[in-house]
Amino acid sequence: MTAQSPIKAFRRKLDLRNGRVDMSHGSGGRASADLVAQIFRDAFANEWLDQGNDQASLPLPAGQRLVMTTDGYVVSPLFFPGGDIGSLAVHGTINDIAMAGARPLYLSASFIVEEGFPLGDLDRIARSMGAASRAAGVPVVTGDTKVVERGKADGVFISTAGVGVVPEGIALSGDRARPGDAVILSGSIGDHGVAIMSSRENLEFETAVLSDSAALHGLVAAMVAAAGPSLRTMRDPTRGGLAATLNELAHQSGVGFRIDEEAVPVRAEVAAACELLGLDPLYVANEGKLVAVVAPEAAERILGVMRAHPLGRDAALIGTVVADERRFVQMTTSFGGGRIVDWLSGEQLPRIC
């Protein structure tokens, strides 16, 4: 009999059907160890996490620049059409790394859990997160769990960090857009925000609207391989949508943007939902789309590569970068007029990610 056997013999199996998180699960004692082992370690199992240390010692490719990001997830509801807070946390963190043209390598995850939260729901979130990280090939290698008193949180919040490496010769940055550059959008906008809102408000549409939550690093890798030096910058238009992203880039680069409303893809069911809810799709969040500013001579080549990838098959050239000291984002409307696409004023959809 090994020294481990007595401990295993007395380990209490979590009641995932009816059990709830209590303060002892955050105490650092046996209950904490059971929670970590039976929910998080089982869900995220990999060689680094299985070592059981307070940190992960990781190999890194030699001669490549390191990129790092951090993010927090407070989405409500926790489960929504097309995803949940667990898979969303993985996809969002990977995408922030990928927008540098980088290859994501490792993730960390920290959970703030409210007392009374169902253990079954926590297990479901962790397993979804683990499945998303394995599908992306980017493991969760370290993490932490804290429990707060009932009423001091709203179920569960997740904080993540991600690490990746940038291939040699790639230098994407928000200050690199130049007049004449082309603006490419990887697909339809507004899906995630409408999915969240319809779930939150118990709205039903004739055609279900699913979140577009997805890891974009495969699409980005194909773009980098095809025309890496011609990529100026990339962003994933999450909170604030496409409008906020273009305004951010305009201010970083000191330029303006001119986009064509008819070129911006919006699904009919999303457009109808936005009209019903009084929302503008340009400001609605996305979690599986990217905006790329590229050298004009490479635009068609990059567009073709994107359309050959499952996550870019609806990619579209939506506009150009223009010289503008005012840094305005201007749009030619479907009626032939024009409008300024300004920053979002206030909070259109709170707790969207």
Residues 335 and 186 in one domain: yes
Residues 153 and 216 in one domain: no
Q: Extract the tokens encoding 108.
A: 């960390």
User: Contact, 120 vs 16, CB < 8 A?
Assistant: yes
Please report the pLDDT score of residue 11 as a whole number: 63
Tally the C-alpha atoms within 13 A of residue 74's C-alpha that lie toward its C-beta.
Answer: 7
Structural domain for 196, as ranges: 182-340
Residues 141 and 257 in one domain: no
Residues 193 and 235 in one domain: yes
Give the span between the Cα atoms of 267 and 262, in whole angstroms.
12
Give the span between the Cα atoms of 346 and 207, in whole angstroms.
29
Residues 298 and 273 in one domain: yes
Residues 47 and 153 in one domain: yes
Over the chain (353 residues), the average pLDDT of each successive run of 10 is: 41 90 94 94 94 92 92 97 98 98 98 98 98 98 97 96 95 97 98 93 82 98 96 97 98 98 96 91 97 98 98 98 98 95 83 91
Residues 144 and 273 in one domain: no
- CATH number, domain with residue 27: 3.30.1330.10
Give the span between the Cα atoms of 182 and 233, in whole angstroms.
11
Which amino acid is residue 329, in one-letter code? V
- CATH number, domain with residue 193: 3.90.650.10
Dihedral over Cα of 211, 217, 218, 223: its sign: positive
Residues 254 and 297 in one domain: yes
pTM value is 0.94
In a domain, 199, yes or no: yes
7-16 contacts, C-beta under 8 A, 24 or more apart: 11/37, 13/38, 14/38, 14/39, 14/119, 14/123, 15/119, 16/119, 16/120, 16/123
Any alpha helices (H) in the chain, and if so which ranges? 5-10, 30-35, 42-44, 85-98, 119-136, 191-200, 217-227, 241-253, 268-277, 299-307
Residues 150 and 295 in one domain: no
